[in-house]
Structures are given as structure tokens and as C-alpha cells.
Structure 1
Amino acid sequence: MIQETIVTTQNSGGIAHIAPMGIHIQDDIFIILPFRPSTTLNNFLETRVGVINYCDDVRVFAGCLIGRRDWPLKPAQKISGQVLSCGLAHTEVELIRVEEDATRPKLFCKTVHTVNHAPFKGFNRAQFSVLEAAILISRLDMLPLSKIESEIEYLRIGLEKTAGERELEAWGWILAVLDDFKGKAVE
């Protein structure tokens, strides 16, 4: 199973990094696959700990992918790390093994501590649309532009039917990145 989460790490100097990541879960092990080069990868290798944050504010997912990474954090409870303040829950993890790969090494992590902060009330279609669009935007250099545009148009249907202010704000950020990308491709 893959869960869309926000992973927070920090380097040995205490500088935090926030990144959306689809993490794999096998039994009680979390597998994180950051691309190389990656601040998340560097921080995990340096400190061997991180935090998996479960969040329903899709602005964090979209924002991180477009460079908006200044989200409020608070100290983790059992590791030297940071927790996303708007998260519904978080799991503090420790790196136990690395499976090397030239493109995406696998980081195998075990749970150190888990906390629930607020109930998860479910995603509406707009939140799903923003999450999927954010993933598409993260792959602008990997997927054909026509595929991205057609999928964004399909996702717009759910967005327009169920979006609130947060979803509309995040959608606007995503479309701005797409428009910028298309503008640079024409130049």
C-alpha cells in the first residue's frame, strides 16, 4: 500500500525540510523512496530519523511541490526532528536499512512513536484532485505535457464540484506552475 504523506526531516544542524512523499507500508515497516538528489535522502542518511505526517490540508502537498515550504512545525516527541503543526497524526521513524539504487534508494524505517492529533474526516473530491494534480506537476519533466493537461482537465471536474478555499488556493498554485512550464517550453 502507498500512502500520500508529508515527510519532515532535518539535518544535524537542525534545519528542517518538508516534502510530500508517497510512502510504502509493508507489515510494520515504512519504505520511503526519495529521488536522488534529495534533501530528504541526505537528511535521513545524516541523522537516521524522520517524521511521517498525515495531513488533510492539500495546500501543504501542493505548496511544497512549488517551493512553498514554510509550514509551521513543532518538535517531535521521541526523536530529534520536527512535526507538521497542521498534521492530523504523525509517526516518528528511525532508519534501519538502506537498499541502494542510483535513482531512488529504498529507506526502510521502523516506528519509534505515533501520535494522533485530530480525527481524519475524509477527503472530498477536490482534495483528491489537488493531490493528484500535485503529483502530476512533480513529474513535468517525466510525463508528456498532453497527458498532464488531459488529466488536469479531468481532475478539474471534482475540484469544481467540491472545493473549499484551501483547495482552490492550492489548485491555483498548481495551474501557475503548469502555465510557467508551458511558457518556458515555448521560449
Structure 2
Amino acid sequence: MRFLDRSQMRLFPRKGEVLILESLVSSIDASGRVNLAPMGPIVHGDLTEPSGMGVTFTLRPFVSSRTFSNLKQSKCAVIHVTDDAMLIARAAVGQIDDVDVAGLVRQIEGTDWWPLIDCHRWFAVEIESIEHDEVRSEMHCRVVRSKMVRPFFGFNRAKHAVLETAILATRTHLISADAIHDEIKRLTPLIDKTAGSAEHDAFKMLRRIIDERLADQ
């Protein structure tokens, strides 16, 4: 396993085309506590291949995150493809506690992999190498198991609007309030025109949290 200093690394920026999957990643700590976090792994290979064995991923958690600590210790993660906009939103803003997570995942017996019970597809991966500086990491993963759980809902503009709003909610310390409000104004019609009840509720929750975080600055 490699641990490189900044002068040796090429974590950012990347050149050329990079395919990023907006996913939820489950990991486990030394005490057996499962963490669920949104993450955009880089996809290498054909994600549509049925077995999943032809795909590898690069996870990029922040060094300060629970996910980084868990993966450094266990070397195991589960990467999920999901269309549950509310779950992504709750995970992004820390609205899922340990009790919630316990009801959402199920252990693969004899392993440290805890896939979501309800998702489109999951990939159980092993961490093969880690590179990091003081802020960000890259973890190169190989797929060990994969399973299709249920059909994917399909494209929906409101679900994507919730995803973009969840990302905004995690960046209130990086983006100006005016820029955030402009983006929410752009996304609101997508919710109004194409959302179901779950997407409406998720968008409302995220707007409340964004307002609270901006007010605290």
C-alpha cells in the first residue's frame, strides 16, 4: 500500500474523460458501526456488464472523513447505484444516524460488506491501494461481488435536481450565498414540474438545511 506526499501525487486535476458515478458508499469501522456516505467514484470499465467483474473504481474520500478512516482500516466498501433521491439527500447532509443505517443495510455473512437492502445495484469492493495527501485520497478498488437488486427507475429531472441541491448543501462554506440561491432558483422549476412526493420532501429538507448553514456563517 502506497502513501505518497503531495509532490509525488497526481490526484487533481485529471486530464481527459472521467466517468463519475453518483453513488452511496457503505463502510464499517473497527467497532462494527456501519457508515453510509454519498460519493462520486471514478468508474473504469463497463458499468453495464452483468457480472460487474470487468469494472474497477477509484474512491476519493477526504482524509478527515469517517469513510476514509473506515476504508483504511477494513479495506472493504460497498458502492451502490440508487435512484432514491431522499436517501442520497439525507446521507449528504448527515440526516441518517446509526439506527437508521442499521435498518437500511444487511451484512454479507462472514464479511465486512454491508449492502443496502433496497437499491438498484451494488458492488462489493476491496481496496487495493491508497494514495493521499493531507486533504484528499484516492483508493483504487477491485470488484469482488456484485448484485442487481431491482430495476432502475429511469431518468427524472427532479431526482437530478435533488442530487444537485444535495451537493450545494455540502458546499455552503465554499460557494457564495448568491450563487447558491441562483442555482436553487434554477432547480426549483424541475421540482415543481417533475417531482413526486419523495423528491418534494427531499428538496424542502435540503433548502431548509442550506438556509440554516448559510445563516450560521
Classify the TM-score, shorter chain: over 0.9
Question: How many residues are treated as equivalent by the alignment?
Answer: 185
Find the aligned partners of 1:7 and 1:184 in 2 and give their Cα distance.
29
Q: Say whether the 8 Å CA contact 1:78–1:92 is kept in structure 2.
A: no
Find the aligned partners of 1:149 and 1:128 in 2 and give their Cα distance.
17
**Unpaired stretches in structure 1, ≥5 consecutive residues:** none
Find the aligned partners of 1:6 and 1:84 in 2 and give their Cα distance.
9
Cα deviation, residue 125, structure 1: 0.7
When structure 1 is superposed on structure 2, of 94-103 and 15-24 the one drifting more is 94-103
Find the aligned partners of 1:68 and 1:74 in 2 and give their Cα distance.
20
Match of 1:43 among 50, 58, 70: 70
Q: Say whether the 8 Å CA contact 1:79–1:92 is kept in structure 2.
A: no
Is residue 24 of structure 1 aligned with residue 53 of structure 2?
Answer: no
Larger radius of gyration: 2
When residues 57 and 68 of structure 1 are mapped into structure 2, their CA distance, relative to the original with a 3 A threshold, is same
Instruction: Compute the TM-score of the two structures, normalised by the length of structure 2.
Output: 0.81
Match of 2:133 among 91, 96, 101: 101
Match of 2:184 among 135, 149, 152: 152
- Aligned residue in 2 for 1:82: 114
Letter in 2 for 1:14: G
Cα deviation, residue 81, structure 1: 2.0
**Unpaired stretches in structure 2, ≥5 consecutive residues:** 1-18, 46-54
Match of 1:68 among 65, 89, 95: 95
Find the aligned partners of 1:77 and 1:7 in 2 and give their Cα distance.
18
Q: Say whether the 8 Å CA contact 1:78–1:113 is kept in structure 2.
A: no
Q: Say whether the 8 Å CA contact 1:74–1:82 is kept in structure 2.
A: yes
Over the residues paired in the alignment, what is the CA RMSD in angstroms? 1.3
When structure 1 is superposed on structure 2, of 90-99 and 66-75 the one drifting more is 66-75
Cα deviation, residue 76, structure 1: 2.8
When residues 142 and 76 of structure 1 are mapped into structure 2, their CA distance, relative to the original with a 3 A threshold, is farther
Give the percent of matched residue pairs that are identical in Structure 1 and Structure 2.
29
Find the aligned partners of 1:157 and 1:105 in 2 and give their Cα distance.
36
Find the aligned partners of 1:150 and 1:76 in 2 and give their Cα distance.
44
Find the aligned partners of 2:23 and 2:109 in 1 and give their Cα distance.
19
Is residue 184 of structure 1 aligned with residue 216 of structure 2?
Answer: yes
- Aligned residue in 2 for 1:12: 30
Find the aligned partners of 1:25 and 1:183 in 2 and give their Cα distance.
37
Find the aligned partners of 1:21 and 1:82 in 2 and give their Cα distance.
16
Classify the secondary structure of the residue corresponding to 1:79.
coil
Q: Say whether the 8 Å CA contact 1:33–1:107 is kept in structure 2.
A: yes
Find the aligned partners of 1:156 and 1:114 in 2 and give their Cα distance.
36
- Aligned residue in 1 for 2:165: 133
Q: Say whether the 8 Å CA contact 2:75–2:127 is kept in structure 1.
A: yes
Find the aligned partners of 2:69 and 2:214 in 1 and give their Cα distance.
31
Instruction: Compute the TM-score of the two structures, normalised by the length of structure 1.
Output: 0.94
Cα deviation, residue 77, structure 1: 5.8
Letter in 2 for 1:135: I
